[in-house]
Amino acid sequence: MLAIAACIGMLLVLLGGALVTNTGSGRGCGDDWPLCHGKFIPAYTIESMIEYSHRLVSGVVGILVLAAFIGMLLKYRKDSTAFKEPLFYAGGALSFTIIQALMGAAAVKWPQSPAVMAIHFGISLIAFASTLLLVIWTFRAKRGTPASFTVPSSIFPRVLAVSIYTYVVVYLGAFIRHTESGGGCLGWPLCNGEIVPEISGATGAVFVHRVAAFILALSIAGLYVHIRKTSHGDAGLAKPAAWVLGLVVTQIFSGALLTFTITNSDLFLFTNLLHNLIVTGLFGLLMDILIRSWRFREGRGR
């Protein structure tokens, strides 16, 4: 239950950070951290409440992640066969949670460039993926893994390449959000009525992100086909791969919704959070496929 609470909390932190960015509330507490305008309870403004609420939730989730790490350490320290994997996930979640908190504090004290702030979302994404992997591991540990479960060695390098590329595409999306370039392409699937617009400024950034997302969808589709073909439909990887494929298609259409709602601030806020939610789940499941394709690849000792 502690791992589940930490995972849900980390998702709220990630979405809360996106909400802070999308509402322009990053400076809602001025230059103070961890206080807000020098107070425990700040003056009531929308920006200050959004920013301070995000800090409070992050603090609580940080405690949950620490508790999950300590819990795994105490529970499995005497079991050498089960010790490394859950501790790796819990330790990763704790490490990246600390990093994202420090980056958040640094952004308040010393305003950062959009290129640096986009990394903040990527760090949060890895922190969430770590907690999700911990939850998945706890459920699978109860069921047990079939002794005969193996993954063709050709799958891991493909998943690794797709995972790295996914992170790059996510970074591009975060960069667009932090530079407020979302309006660079009006209309979908065309960009400002053109198949290939002028590649410069906000238009260039959005167009490159669209092309990159389309290539990502093709890459994930190819990965799914390869897993089905080489694993003979083994549910160990085929099912999460199918989910990832479905999520990337959904993500593309949620990107279209962003374009159609950009002139409506309320709807745009909702579609933006939806866009972040989908890619968060996609990346987390992709990390599960990556780790399992490495752990159970053919020829690797158990």
Q: Which two tokens stand for residue 153?
A: 């060695």
Token reading at 93 = 């979640």
- The span from the CA of 21 to the CA of 127, in Å, is 18
Asked if residue 146 lies in contact with residue 108, where contact means CB atoms within 8 angstroms, the answer is no
Indicate which residue of 47, 51, 85, 194 is catalytic.
Answer: 51
51 is catalytic: yes
Q: What element of type H or E holds 212? A: helix 201-231
* Closest among 140, 157, 136, 158 to 149, alpha carbons compared: 140
Phi first, then psi, for residue 212 (nearest 5°) are -65, -40
Rg of the chain (C-alpha set): 20
Positions annotated as catalytic residues are 51
